[in-house]
C-alpha cells in the first residue's frame, strides 16, 4: 500500500481529490485507473480524430507544391497537425499566410510532445488558447481531449466556446479529463449554431432552460458520453436539431428516460448506459435502434423499450430478456402472450437478442420476441454465461413451450450465435430451431447460413468437456446444414 500511495503522477485525479482519498486511507491510484477505463470506453465511441499524413521530406514537399493554387494549399495545410501546419510559414514567402487562411483543424493530442497519456497540465490549455488566438478562422474541426477544465478553468472554457461560436466551428469533440467528473458544461455551448457534429464527454449537462430560442440547424451527429443528465436534457437538444441523423449515448450511469420525437433521426445507439426507458414516440425515418451492454447497477432496474411510430425501423437489438421490457403500440410484450398484428414490427429485417439460455425466464421471452418480428432475415444471438441454470431446458422444453415459429423460419436466412460455450441448453435451442424449420418442409435448410462463434472446448469454469451427446448433436446439425 505504501508504494501505491506514493507521489506517482495521476492522469485523471486532481490533487485535491487525491489528498482527500489519502486522508480516508484510500488509494487514489485505484480511482485513477477506474477513470482511465471509463475514458477508454468514451474514446472508443468518439469520431476518429484528425490524423497526420505520412511523413515526407520538406524540400520535396515544398517543391512539389510550388505550382499548386492557393485553395489547394489551404486544403493541404488544414489536414496537417496544427504544429506542423503553423510551421509551414517557414517554407517560403508564399506559405506565410496559408495557415491563417486555411480552415483550422485542431486535435490537442498533437500539442503534447509525449502523447495523450500524460497528466493534463496548464501547458496544454495554454497551447490551445494560443492556437485559438492566432487563427482568425473558420474552424473546421476541433478535438479537445487532454485538458482538465473544472474549478478555476471554467471561465477559460467559456471563452473557448464563445470563440468557437464566433469562428463557426463545424465539428467539436469536447471531453473533460476527470477528476472531478461532473464539471458543469457552460450554456455557451448552445450558441454554436454552425455545428454539424458534436460529442461531449465527462461533464454535467447544461441547464436546458438555456435552449430557449436556440437551435442547431446543421447538427447531424450528436454523441453524449458519461455525462450527468436529467430527464428531458437529450430530448430538448433532439427537438432543436432538425437535421440530426445520428444519436450516440454511451457510458451514462444515472438512470434517465429518453423520449424520441424527430423527423430526421436515422440511427440511435445506446451503449453501456443506465436507462429507465427509451420511447420511440415518433421517428418516421429511424432505421437502426442499437442497444449494447445494458447497465443496471442495482440489479433490479429494467429498461422499458416503447416503440410507437418507427415505420422504417430495419435493425433492432440487442434485446435482452430480464433487462429490457418491450412495449409495442402501448402493449407490453409478455412471455407466452398471443401476438396480434398490432404487436408486430414488420419492417425489422435484422434482430439481435442477448440471452441467458440457462435461465427459464429469459428463454420464455425468446419465442415471444421472435413472433413480434415476423419478417426478420438475419438473427444475431449473443449467449450470456449462466452460473446457475434454472430448470431442465432441453429440446422437449422448447418444443412444448415455444412450438414452431413459422413466421420467422419462413424468412430468416442468416443466424449468428456468439459466445457459444457448448452447454446443453445452447445446443437444445439450435436443435429446436433447425428441427422446426425441417417440419415446415421449406428450402430454409439449404439456403440458411449459420455461424457459431465460441470455444469448442469450454473453459474450466464451465461444465467440462463436451459429452458424446453434445458432440453428436452439433455434428448432426452441421451435417444437415451442409447437406
Q: Show the cell assigned to 26.
A: 484510500
Q: What is the pLDDT of residue 277?
A: 94
Higher pLDDT, 407 or 473: 407
> What mean pLDDT do residues 103-127 have?
70
Helix (H, G, I), strand (E, B) or coil at 177: coil
pLDDT bracket for residue 461 (50, 70, 90): very low
pLDDT bracket for residue 466 (50, 70, 90): very low
- Residue 392's nearest CA partner among 384, 383, 401 is 401
| 474 contacts: CB under 8 Å, gap ≥ 6 | 422, 427, 430, 466
Inter-residue contact 219 to 195 (CB < 8 Å): yes
| Helical pair 154-166 and 122-134, crossing angle rounded to 10 deg | 30
- Of the listed ranges 34-38, 157-161, 212-216, 395-399, the least confidently predicted one is 395-399
How many Å apart are CA 165 and CA 151, to the nearest integer? 23
Look at phi and psi of residue 405 and say left if phi exceeds 0, alpha if psi is from -120 to 50, else beta: beta
For every residue of 57-95, DSSP letters joined together read -HHHHHHHHTTS-HHHHHHHHHTS-HHHHHHGGGT-GGG
Per-residue pLDDT reduced to its tens digit, 255-308: 899 999 999 999 999 998 889 999 999 999 999 999 987 776 555 578 999 999
| 44 contacts: CB under 8 Å, gap ≥ 6 | none
End-to-end CA distance of the chain: 62
The residue length of the chain stands at 483
As beta bridge partners, residue 104 has: 139
For 365-368, the CB contacts below 8 A with 24+ separation are: 365/321, 365/322, 365/333, 365/335, 366/321, 366/402, 366/429, 367/398, 367/401, 367/402, 367/403, 367/405, 368/333, 368/334, 368/335, 368/336, 368/337, 368/339
Per-residue pLDDT reduced to its tens digit, 125-170: 888 888 888 888 888 899 998 877 876 788 889 999 999 999 999 9
How many Å apart are CA 33 and CA 81, to the nearest integer? 29
How many Å apart are CA 311 and CA 308, to the nearest integer? 9
Inter-residue contact 146 to 124 (CB < 8 Å): yes
Per-residue pLDDT reduced to its tens digit, 215-229: 899 999 999 999 999
How many Å apart are CA 52 and CA 50, to the nearest integer? 7
For every residue of 401-419, DSSP letters joined together read HT---HHHHTT--EEEEEE
Higher pLDDT, 57 or 310: 310
How many Å apart are CA 458 and CA 474, to the nearest integer? 14
Amino acid at each position: 500500500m505504501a508504494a501505491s500511495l506514493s507521489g506517482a503522477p495521476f492522469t485523471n485525479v486532481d490533487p485535491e481529490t487525491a489528498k482527500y482519498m489519502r486522508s480516508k486511507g484510500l488509494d487514489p491510484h485505484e480511482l485513477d485507473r477506474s477513470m482511465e477505463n471509463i475514458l477508454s470506453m468514451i474514446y472508443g465511441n468518439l469520431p476518429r480524430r484528425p490524423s497526420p499524413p505520412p511523413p515526407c521530406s520538406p524540400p520535396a514537399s515544398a517543391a512539389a507544391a510550388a505550382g499548386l493554387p492557393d485553395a489547394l494549399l489551404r486544403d493541404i495545410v488544414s489536414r496537417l497537425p496544427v504544429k506542423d501546419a503553423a510551421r509551414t510559414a517557414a517554407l517560403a514567402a508564399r506559405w506565410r499566410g496559408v495557415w491563417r487562411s486555411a480552415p483550422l483543424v485542431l486535435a490537442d493530442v498533437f500539442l503534447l510532445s509525449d502523447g495523450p497519456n500524460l497528466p493534463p497540465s496548464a501547458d496544454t490549455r495554454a497551447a490551445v488558447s494560443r492556437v485559438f488566438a492566432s487563427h482568425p478562422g473558420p474552424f473546421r474541426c476541433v478535438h479537445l481531449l487532454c485538458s482538465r477544465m473544472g474549478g478555476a478553468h471554467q471561465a477559460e472554457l467559456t471563452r473557448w466556446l464563445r470563440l468557437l461560436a464566433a469562428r463557426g466551428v463545424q465539428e467539436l469533440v469536447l471531453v473533460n479529463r476527470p477528476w472531478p467528473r461532473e464539471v458543469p458544461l457552460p450554456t455557451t455551448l448552445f450558441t454554436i449554431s454552425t455545428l454539424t457534429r458534436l460529442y461531449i464527454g465527462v461533464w454535467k449537462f447544461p441547464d436546458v432552460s438555456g435552449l430557449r430560442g436556440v437551435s442547431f440547424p446543421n447538427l447531424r451527429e450528436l454523441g453524449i458520453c458519461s455525462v450527468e443528465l436529467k430527464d428531458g436534457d437529450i430530448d430538448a437538444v433532439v427537438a432543436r436539431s432538425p437535421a440530426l441523423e445520428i444519436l450516440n449515448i454511451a457510458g451514462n450511469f444515472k438512470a434517465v428516460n429518453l423520449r424520441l420525437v424527430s423527423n430526421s433521426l436515422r440511427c440511435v445507439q445506446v451503449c453501456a448506459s443506465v436507462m429507465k426507458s427509451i420511447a420511440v414516440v415518433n421517428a418516421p425515418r429511424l432505421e437502426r435502434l442499437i442497444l449494447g451492454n445494458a447497465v443496471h447497477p442495482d440489479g433490479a432496474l429494467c429498461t422499458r423499450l416503447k416503440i410507437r411510430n418507427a415505420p422504417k425501423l430495419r435493425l433492432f437489438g440487442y434485446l435482452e430478456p430480464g433487462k429490457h421490457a418491450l412495449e409495442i403500440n402501448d402493449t407490453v410484450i409478455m412471455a407466452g402472450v398471443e401476438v396480434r398484428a398490432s404487436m408486430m414490427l414488420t419492417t425489422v429485417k435484422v434482430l439481435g437478442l442477448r440471452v441467458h439460455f440457462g435461465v427459464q425466464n429469459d428463454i420464455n421471452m425468446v419465442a415471444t420476441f421472435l413472433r413480434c418480428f415476423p419478417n426478420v432475415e438475419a438473427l444475431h444471438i449473443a449467449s450470456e454465461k449462466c452460473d446457475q441454470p434454472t430448470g431442465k431446458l432441453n429440446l422437449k422444453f422448447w418444443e412444448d413451450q415455444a412450438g414452431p415459429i413459422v413466421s420467422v423460419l419462413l424468412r430468416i436466412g442468416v443466424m449468428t450465435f456468439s459466445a457459444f460455450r457448448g452447454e446443453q441448453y445452447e445446443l437444445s435451442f439450435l436443435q429446436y430451431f433447425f428441427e422446426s424449420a425441417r417440419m415446415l418442409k421449406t428450402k430454409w435448410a439449404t439456403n440458411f447460413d449459420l455461424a457459431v462463434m465460441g470455444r469448442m472446448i469450454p473453459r474450466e469454469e464451465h461444465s467440462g468437456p463436451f459429452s458424446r451427446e453434445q458432440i453428436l448433436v452439433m455434428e448432426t446439425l452441421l451435417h444437415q446444414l451442409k447437406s
